């Protein structure tokens, strides 16, 4: 099965959020999800719809699911008996005898009386579950990264709109101050300040347009679609923070995976302990010596008095302690980060409400008053310029506060975990 880079590239470029594969997955989610899920990208791709596309086409998730398939294949064939062993001997008596050949053969089968094969099967099943939990964890992390990229792209679009708006306001102000300068009613130094501010904001527009394009391509990459795939993204700065659904150990995907890895480590220890108890080798034997045939049974059993698999047991115990520490420290870290994110969310909400309710209305009124006074010749131009800049900065602050609030909510939602895990091996 040789690689086909050109064929795969063509298939990738042909992917679309409207593909039947994505629609089929959306229908399955709609059937099994606790809440209604609507999927119709024809009128623009929303964040919720983009999450569905990412679960289907994301590059890293494809590899993660295939790795889980390896663990599944291993579990399906774990715990099998060892193959029987056939041995034979052919000897010749060197001194002259009527029948100088001595022929012997034996067929031995290992009887797993130690019970290690059953434990190995259980360990392989636990390893498969751990890999599925890892896939679920990577799915949830992918959705977190997608939501964050979508929020930041949406914020950049709003910053671009506000920057274009102030440039439009400065256009009329530059025209007005220019006329006043020509009439000798305003110093040229003051009218030049408007022009300088205008050109500076035009440079910001060019930078923000680049950031918007870059952000869109990052979103497309996370969804697993090509840069030219037909997809009109719908901006949003809304992101829920999720609700507590019980203990973090039962809902957080990382903690669920670490618990699975600890269960696997315990089964590895049980397997190593079972290896202390020997398995019996038993089977029929045949021998022909000087024309006489002999039939019987051959058997063997190791005597565990020197090795007793002490090294394997000690290693398994140490690995189990590592798995325990990994879970316990991650639980502590997650609880601490959750408290930190909730404090950040509270601060961001207070800041956003203050800017939205107090600062923005004040600066908007100040701009209108300053413009009216300048038009009738009773106000200074610098007051208008300062008012325009302050209004612009206040709106950028509001966008930043909304983004910080949404990102904090997204982080909280990630730590709390999904409503249900969506890991699949296919």
Contacting residues for 27 by C-beta, under 8 A, at least 6 apart: 39
CB-based contacts of 363-368 (< 8 A; 24+ apart in sequence): 363/387, 363/390, 363/391, 363/394, 364/391, 366/390, 366/391, 367/169, 367/391
- pLDDT value at position 380? 62
**3-state per-residue secondary structure call for 115-137:** CHHHHHHHHHHHHHHHHHHHHHH
Phi-psi region of 309 (alpha: psi -120 to 50; beta: other; left: phi over 0): left
> Could you tell me if residue 426 is inside a domain?
no
**Grouped pLDDT means (10 residues each) for the chain, 426 residues:** 88 85 82 63 88 92 90 83 81 73 81 81 90 93 95 96 90 78 77 86 94 95 91 86 80 94 93 84 77 79 78 93 96 95 93 89 81 62 81 91 94 86 38
- pLDDT value at position 269? 93
> Could you tell me if residue 424 is inside a domain?
no
Burial track 217-236 (b if 16+ CB lie within 10 A, e otherwise): ebbbbbbbbbeebebebebe
- Length of the chain (residues): 426
> Could you tell me if residue 421 is inside a domain?
no
For residue 105, which phi and psi values (nearest 5 degrees)? -150, 155
The token pair that represents 393 in the structure block:
């900065």
> Could you tell me if residue 423 is inside a domain?
no
Structural domain range at position 265: 5-416
> Could you tell me if residue 19 is inside a domain?
yes
How many domains does the chain divide into? 1
> Could you tell me if residue 200 is inside a domain?
yes
Strand boundaries in 18-125, DSSP class E: 85-92, 101-111
The token pair that represents 171 in the structure block:
């256009």
Radius of gyration of the chain from its Cα atoms, rounded to whole angstroms: 36
CA distances from residue 88 to 18, 85, 203, 286, 289 in whole angstroms, order as listed:
66, 10, 87, 9, 13
CATH number at residue 352: 1.20.1600.10
């Amino acid at each position: 099965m040789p690689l086909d880079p050109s064929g795969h590239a063509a298939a990738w470029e042909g992917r679309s959020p409207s593909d039947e594969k994505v629609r089929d997955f959306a229908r399955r989610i709609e059937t099994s999800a606790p809440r209604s899920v609507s999927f119709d990208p024809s009128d623009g791709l929303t964040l919720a719809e983009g999450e569905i596309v990412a679960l289907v086409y994301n590059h890293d998730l494809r590899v993660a699911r295939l790795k889980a398939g390896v663990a599944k294949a291993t579990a399906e064939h774990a715990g099998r008996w060892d193959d029987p062993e056939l041995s034979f001997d052919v000897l010749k008596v060197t001194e002259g005898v009527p029948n100088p050949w001595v022929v012997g053969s034996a067929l031995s089968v290992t009887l797993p009386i130690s019970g290690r094969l059953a434990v190995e099967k259980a360990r392989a099943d636990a390893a498969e579950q751990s890999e599925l939990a890892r896939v679920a964890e990577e799915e949830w992390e992918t959705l977190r990264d997608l939501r964050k990229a979508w929020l930041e792209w949406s914020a950049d679009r709003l910053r671009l709109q506000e920057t274009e708006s102030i440039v439009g306001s400065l256009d009329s102000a530059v025209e007005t101050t220019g006329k006043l300068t020509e009439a000798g009613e305003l110093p040229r130094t003051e009218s030049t300040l408007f022009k300088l501010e205008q050109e500076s904001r035009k440079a910001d527009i060019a930078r923000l347009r680049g950031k918007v394009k870059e952000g869109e391509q990052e979103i497309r990459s996370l969804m697993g679609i090509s840069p030219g795939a037909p997809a009109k993204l719908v901006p949003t700065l809304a992101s829920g923070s999720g609700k507590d659904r019980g203990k973090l150990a039962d809902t957080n995907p990382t903690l669920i995976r670490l618990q699975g890895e600890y269960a696997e480590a315990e089964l590895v220890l049980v397997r190593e302990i079972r290896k202390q108890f020997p398995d019996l080798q038993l089977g029929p034997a045949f021998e022909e010596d000087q024309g006489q045939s002999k039939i019987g049974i051959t058997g063997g059993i190791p005597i565990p008095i020197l090795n007793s698999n002490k090294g394997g047991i000690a290693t398994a115990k140490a690995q189990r302690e590592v798995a325990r520490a990994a879970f316990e420290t991650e639980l502590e870290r997650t609880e601490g980060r959750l408290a930190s994110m909730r404090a950040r969310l509270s601060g961001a909400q207070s800041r956003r409400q203050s800017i939205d309710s107090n600062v923005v209305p004040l600066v908007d009124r100040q701009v209108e008053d300053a413009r009216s006074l300048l038009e009738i010749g009773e106000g200074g131009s610098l007051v208008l310029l300062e008012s325009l800049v302050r209004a612009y900065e206040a709106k950028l602050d509001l966008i930043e506060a909304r983004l910080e609030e949404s990102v904090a909510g997204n982080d909280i939602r990630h730590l709390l975990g999904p409503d249900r895990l969506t890991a699949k091996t296919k």
